[in-house]
Amino acid sequence: MLRKLNIFKRIDDKSTQNIFKNMAVLMSGAVIARIIGFGSTPILTRLYTPEHFGILSIFLAVLAMILPFATLRYSIAIPLLKYNGIAINLVAVSMLILSIVTLITIGIFGLFYPIIFKLFSLETLQAYWWLLPIAVFASGMYEIFQSWLVRQKDFKALATTDVLTTIGGAITKIGLALMGIKPLGLLLGSVFVSSFGSILLFFRVKNLLKINKKFLRFSRMKFLILYYMEYPKYRLPSQFLLVLSMQAPLLALANFFGTDTVGQFSLALMALSLPVTLLGNSMGQAYYAEIAKVGKKNPEKIFEISKHIIKKLLLLSIIPFIVILFASPLLFSFVFGEAWREAGAFAQLLSLYMLASFVSAPLVNTLSVFERQSLFLKLNIIRVGLLLGVFTTVYFLNLGAIETVFLYSMVMAMHFIYVSTTIFTVIKQEIILVKSRNGRL
């Protein structure tokens, strides 16, 4: 498929070739999974109402804001360690933290869920609070196993799991809807994806983990906790702020305009995120695996790899961007049903934001390699500040849903352009630093 596109041409840099090779493996699964997922969506939009999708979106928003605490972000560092015998200690640390966080989630929501949901005007979720701890644990385990497989560059397993979980999730959602279990069917289908995925990945990694469990030492676990302290110190609040900034529009729209508008907005985001999921996530995982192997001592190679990635993503995004910009209302009403025309209008407004996000998404992994977690935190503080400004403006000017989405899209597009520019500046700074250390300046 990639060869037919004729844009992933061969280049001399072996690392960049590896990225595209690994990305092709991930994409093979991602393409099939997204086709299945997207193919089931027109059925789901006729079985479930925009309000049902709104409830799902709010549930996933709450879950997403808990997940950064699931492993305190230690799982992200698993691919960076050189030896499996050391890396397995970080796997153990991540699992221990996840178990504690899951128990805390059960305790907090089990005792106080009516107060919590009422405080944030999320009463529609009260009946489904018990799903949150299950989703937290399943998603956390999936993240840990995924990091281990990225470390092993076992992208085939990730691609296969993506396909199988998507099929299972779609069948669950459709089947429960036909049984009249609404909107719980949507929620259970979403939780099924991470739960089933974590089980599949466990069977893929269990043998290698079993071989290396003899290297587990409390002293090593303690050392790694301290050595990677920047992750909970900087990456955790950074990730939380990032998730907050991503979910804030859903929560704000729910507060301002109701769950029906949230459902329309979430469908627009889901459709637009299809290319991001197909290419951006696959590229991000392959890019991270390769630059982690290259290491921070060779920023010049990372710079060249990053330039190639940006160019390819821009080429891939031009035609979809034009189609979305001019034809999305008509396409949405045709594909998903007339009740979803407003989602098409939202998609038009969000197109520039999604383009900027799509191109910049893989580059964020560079900050982990260069240990710039504090910068990642600053970028997300800026993003939250911008969003606060957007929704403060919406509140005081009493803007409608269309005006709100337009303002949000423009501000976020400018932010992602700024993020990309900042990351390339960081890489150039690292090049200068390495050259000065080697006496080449």
pLDDT, position 16:
52
**Structure tokens given for 284:** 């991000």
- Give the whole-angstrom CA distance, residue 135 versus residue 124: 18
The 10s digit of each residue's pLDDT in 147-189 is 998 888 777 788 888 888 988 999 999 999 999 998 899 999 9
pLDDT, position 280:
59
pLDDT, position 282:
64
pLDDT, position 315:
82
pLDDT, position 18:
57
- Give the whole-angstrom CA distance, residue 302 versus residue 290: 9
Cis peptide upstream of residue 79 (ω within 30 degrees of 0): no
Nearest in space to 133 (alpha carbons), one of 168, 104, 158: 104
Of 21-35, 49-63, 404-418, where does the model show the most confidence?
A: 404-418
pLDDT, position 7:
29
pTM: 0.72
Contacts of 152 (CB under 8 A, 6+ apart): 208
Nearest in space to 426 (alpha carbons), one of 303, 294, 287: 303
Does residue 263 have a pLDDT over 50? Answer: yes
pLDDT, position 254:
84
Count, residues in the chain: 441
Nearest in space to 48 (alpha carbons), one of 190, 194, 248: 190
Contacts of 249 (CB under 8 A, 6+ apart): 265, 387, 405, 408
CA dihedral (299, 303, 309, 313) positive or negative: positive
Asked if residue 103 lies in contact with residue 128, where contact means CB atoms within 8 angstroms, the answer is: no
- 209: confidence class by pLDDT, cuts 50, 70, 90: confident
**Structure tokens given for 221:** 């676990």
pLDDT, position 275:
61
Cis peptide upstream of residue 183 (ω within 30 degrees of 0): yes
Lookup result for tokens 């409830």: 55
- 412: confidence class by pLDDT, cuts 50, 70, 90: very high
- 255: confidence class by pLDDT, cuts 50, 70, 90: confident
pLDDT, position 10:
39
- The vertex-193 CA angle with 60 and 74, nearest 5°, equals 70
3-state SS string over the chain? CHHHHCCCCCCCCHHHHHHHHHHHHHHHHHHHHHHHHHHHHHHHHHHCCHHHHHHHHHHHHHHHHHHHHCCCCHHHHHHHCCCHHHHHHHHHHHHHHHHHHHHHHHHHHHHHHHHHHHHCCCHHHHHHCCHHHHHHHHHHHHHHHHHHHHHHCCHHHHHHHHHHHHHHHHHHHHHHHHCCCCCHHHHHHHHHHHHHHHHHHHHHHHHHHHHHHHHCCHHHHHHHHHHCCHHHHHHHHHHHHHHHHHHHHHHHHHHHHCHHHHHHHHHHHHHHHHHHHHHHHHHHHHHHHHHHHHCCCCHHHHHHHHHHHHHHHHHHHHHHHHHHHHHHHHHHHHHHCHHHHHHHHHHHHHHHHHHHHHHHHHHHHHHHHCCCHHHHHHHHHHHHHHHHHHHHHHHHHCCCHHHHHHHHHHHHHHHHHHHHHHHHHHHHHHHHHHHHHCCCC
pLDDT, position 279:
61
Domain extents for the chain? 2-433
Contacts of 320 (CB under 8 A, 6+ apart): 275
Does residue 24 have a pLDDT over 70? Answer: no
Across residues 132-143, what is the average pLDDT?
A: 94
Does residue 100 have a pLDDT over 60? Answer: yes
**Structure tokens given for 4:** 């037919």
Contacts of 374 (CB under 8 A, 6+ apart): 230, 234
| Percent of the chain's residues with pLDDT above 70 | 89
Mean pLDDT check: name the lowest of 150-154, 253-257, 352-356. 150-154
Alpha helices, H only, 153-183: 155-178
Alpha helices, H only, 120-231: 131-152, 155-178, 184-212, 218-227, 230
The 10s digit of each residue's pLDDT in 273-322 is 766 655 656 666 677 777 877 877 888 888 888 888 888 888 877 888 88
**Structure tokens given for 317:** 């995004």
- Give the whole-angstrom CA distance, residue 197 versus residue 351: 30
* Residue-averaged pLDDT of the chain: 84
Asked if residue 185 lies in contact with residue 54, where contact means CB atoms within 8 angstroms, the answer is: no
Number of helices and strands in the chain (H, E)? 17, 0
